[in-house]
Amino acid sequence: MIFQPKNAGSMLCTAVLLLPMRAEADLLCPGTLVTARAPAESAVEERICAVVVEAAAQLNTCGLPITRPVQILVIDGSLGDGCVGLYHCGEDLIEVLAPDRLEANRSRDGIFDAVPTDRFFDSIIVHELAHAAHDALPCPSGLCLATSEYLAYNSQIMSLEPDDQRAVMARIDMEETVKHDEVNAAILFFKPNVFAARAWAHLNQRDDPCEYLRHVANGVFTFDRERP
Ligand SMILES: [Zn+2]
């Protein structure tokens, strides 16, 4: 239940007194190294943990095990211009916009625009978890920006329910062959939506997408260097 201070009766006043104690502790997601903290929003913490438990298994299967403790903080404010989720490199820290903030601030012209906000929120958690998992792995080419986003966007779309995945793919030309060089840092910086669309089409043009992600995660393939 979400606490509503304006309706506080005597029972809820007890909850007011207990609230600061609860808010100090992060919720440890069962069977994982991930914790969630959403000030005064235990239902959001529980939602995040449900996503984390499922995502951890999927990420592990495709080469992105979560091997270090990761903290997820829900931000009831702003993460900066157009940003709905953020992984802090080297800090094992993820920040995500609170669901109601996300509803108010999400882009309406991207490939995810047909995905309902609650499930879009879930998919952002997966996106940032993929970054966290990849951050713990070596980056043999020395620069892994586009490579990390390739893993993150693909893990995010892969985690969507079939209906939502179909809605995303309806905005992507899945038939046009995407060359390796077309998934790069320049398109990531200038047109992140195009990058995400190309990444998903490119991955789905591989024989075994999950195996391919394992190779990308392990540094066998990179999207951060020009290929000859
Ligand atoms: Zn990202």
Structural domain spans, the chain: 14-135, 145-217
pLDDT confidence band for 17 (50 / 70 / 90): very low
CA of 205 to the centre of ligand 1 (A): 21
pLDDT confidence band for 81 (50 / 70 / 90): confident
Q: Which residues pair with 36 in a beta bridge?
A: 27, 72
Cβ atoms of residues 73 and 65 within 8 Å: no
pLDDT confidence band for 227 (50 / 70 / 90): low
Amino acid identity of residue 228, one-letter, is P
CA of 26 to the centre of ligand 1 (A): 23
Q: What is the mean pLDDT of residues 12-27?
A: 51
Query: Is the CATH number of domain 14-135 3.30.70.270?
Result: no
CA of 127 to the centre of ligand 1 (A): 6
Q: pTM of the predicted model, to two decimals?
A: 0.88
CA of 59 to the centre of ligand 1 (A): 15
CA of 5 to the centre of ligand 1 (A): 36
> Is residue 7 pLDDT above 60, yes or no?
no
Q: How many CA atoms does the CB half-sphere of 79 hold within 13 Å? A: 21
Cβ atoms of residues 92 and 69 within 8 Å: yes
